[in-house]
Amino acid sequence: MQPLKEYQQKRRFTKTAEPAPQKKSSRSGKLFVVQKHRASHLHYDFRLEMNGVLKSWAVPKGPSLDPAVRRLAMAVEDHPIDYADFEGIIPEGEYGGGTVMVWDRGTYTPESQMTSDFGRGELKFTLQGVKLQGSWVLVRTKGRQWLLIKHRDDEYVSTADITLSDPRSVITQRTLAEIAADEGGNVAKAATGDPAGLPRPVKEGLKRRLPATSAK
């Protein structure tokens, strides 16, 4: 199958603000991004740049910094590199309809040969993100089912739940509800993806000027 064909087939770019494939690689060539996505279910999309696309996994519970915790990661279709900049609303009724946040972003360093390791179903890499750092592994168990596990390294492990302690966007510092409010999404639905006790947006429909989010 040609690269990104499944990505294109699932989307109508006249309806969604998601990017059509354009850029072939980032400056580093080793981009990673985690997008928190309140669609029909809340999940975290974990993406690693490989051979001009973002290899992607949907992680329902999000990453854990605790090496004893194995998080289910379902492999999904490759995404274009430009997708790493996408934060906003996918219209209801479209594929993945809901609110998307750039939860973490940075670069990664492969700990071995990524392309052949992908085929074997075992990827080892070090993350240089804002929230996620240190050594990680993605290992395939069966079919599209993988596990995302933090490797033991003294500096970056923790038993604290980073999805609760650090729930905001790394590029705009917004909550899911704030993104929905700013961009005309479903605020009540988005808010169910934010941890309880976070302040809710006071004003709906407020358009804020966003800072440049370029990771290029």
Residues that bind Mn ion (CB under 5 A): 37, 45
Q: How far is the CB of 36 from Mn ion (least distance, A)?
A: 9
Q: Is the separation of the CB atoms in 32 and 127 below 8 Å?
A: yes
Ranked by CB distance to Mn ion, the top (closest) residue is 37
Q: How far is the CB of 137 from Mn ion (least distance, A)?
A: 22
Residue among 42 and 171 whose Cβ is closer to Mn ion: 42
Residue among 45 and 183 whose Cβ is closer to Mn ion: 45
Q: How far is the CB of 141 from Mn ion (least distance, A)?
A: 20
Q: H helices within 108-175, ranges in order?
A: 114-120, 162-165
Q: At a CB cut-off of 8 Å and minimum separation 6, what does 137 contact?
A: 122, 123, 124, 125, 148, 149, 151
Q: How far is CA 191 from CA 17, 52, 194, in A?
A: 21, 34, 5
Q: How far is the CB of 12 from Mn ion (least distance, A)?
A: 16
Q: How far is the CB of 83 from Mn ion (least distance, A)?
A: 10
Residue among 45 and 194 whose Cβ is closer to Mn ion: 45
Residue among 49 and 117 whose Cβ is closer to Mn ion: 49
Q: At a CB cut-off of 8 Å and minimum separation 6, what does 147 contact?
A: 70, 71, 72, 73, 138, 139, 141
Residue among 67 and 97 whose Cβ is closer to Mn ion: 97
Residues in the chain: 216
